[in-house]
Amino acid sequence: MIKAVILDFGGVLAEEGFREGLKAIGQKNGLNPEDFYAVASELVYQTGYVTGRADEPEFWNAVREKVGVTGDDKELRSEILKRFILRPEMLKFVEELKTSGFITAILSDQTNWLDEIDRETPFFHHFDFIFNSFNMKKGKRNPSIFQDVCSAMGLRPEELLFVDDNIENIRRALGEGLNAIHVRDIGSLQIEIKNLVGI
């Protein structure tokens, strides 16, 4: 029986600002947007920024060194943060889940930007738990993060439903015994979740 619903941030609760922001930076610098996104999104892990083991300047310096983009840190981060647009319909749905008796949580491979977004447009209060790789020192590439989440919530894996737009994260969650939904169409997501949790 599912007792908790855990949602990814970018691509689920909000527009995918990281991917789209990086693509925009690549385009502005005359680079192939997809290629630049692939390089920069790998560097956020390699530098340790996404797991809180490096700071933001280290990440942007690594990006500049690898591909030669221009712009200061403030300008580059702005391209990403302005694209993380919260989806009000999803936050409303989270409240519906809570009213129906479910525990709600965020599990996101994010940096300190997640806290900044919450300060600018508060949304953490909709959730019982916030799990951010930056604070946990571990990302979803490490399957053990799902056991950490289970322990923190005091629940068994089969009692959790994990929702993410990254199929690799879904596979890891399933491998750890969680229920999972891969988000392909945000429009039908609420129906999928309701069908699975039985509301």
Domain end (from 29, 46, 81): 81
- Regarding whether 70 and 159 lie in a shared domain, the answer is no
- Regarding whether 37 and 9 lie in a shared domain, the answer is no
What is the CATH number for 132? 3.40.50.1000
Please give the average per-residue pLDDT across 33-51, as a whole number.
97
- Regarding whether 148 and 77 lie in a shared domain, the answer is no
For residue 148, give its domain range: 4-15+85-197
- Regarding whether 97 and 74 lie in a shared domain, the answer is no
- Regarding whether 33 and 9 lie in a shared domain, the answer is no
- Cβ-based neighbours of 99, under 8 Å, separated by 6 or more: none
pTM of the model: 0.94
Give the Cα separation of 63 and 142 in Å (integer): 23
| 3-30 pLDDT tens trace | 999 999 999 999 999 999 999 999 999 9
Angle at alpha carbon of residue 57, lines to 51 and 60, rounded to 5°: 85
- Regarding whether 152 and 57 lie in a shared domain, the answer is no
Domain end (from 64, 81, 98): 81
| 93-143 pLDDT tens trace | 999 999 999 999 999 999 999 999 999 999 999 999 999 999 999 999 999
- Regarding whether 112 and 41 lie in a shared domain, the answer is no
Tokens of 153: 């919530």
Domain end (from 37, 52, 81): 81
Considering the chain, what percentage of its residues have pLDDT values greater than 70?
100
- Regarding whether 43 and 68 lie in a shared domain, the answer is yes
Helices (H), the chain: 17-28, 33-46, 56-67, 73-81, 88-99, 113-120, 133-136, 144-153, 167-175, 186-197
| 136-191 pLDDT tens trace | 999 999 999 999 999 999 999 999 999 999 999 999 999 999 999 999 888 899 99
- Regarding whether 73 and 91 lie in a shared domain, the answer is no
- Regarding whether 30 and 10 lie in a shared domain, the answer is no
Question: For residue 26, is it left (φ>0), alpha (ψ between -120 and 50) or beta?
Answer: alpha
pLDDT at residue number 164: 97
Sheet strands side by side (includes 103-108): 129-132, 103-108, 4-7, 160-164, 179-182
- Regarding whether 119 and 22 lie in a shared domain, the answer is no
- Regarding whether 58 and 10 lie in a shared domain, the answer is no
> Into how many domains does the chain fold?
2
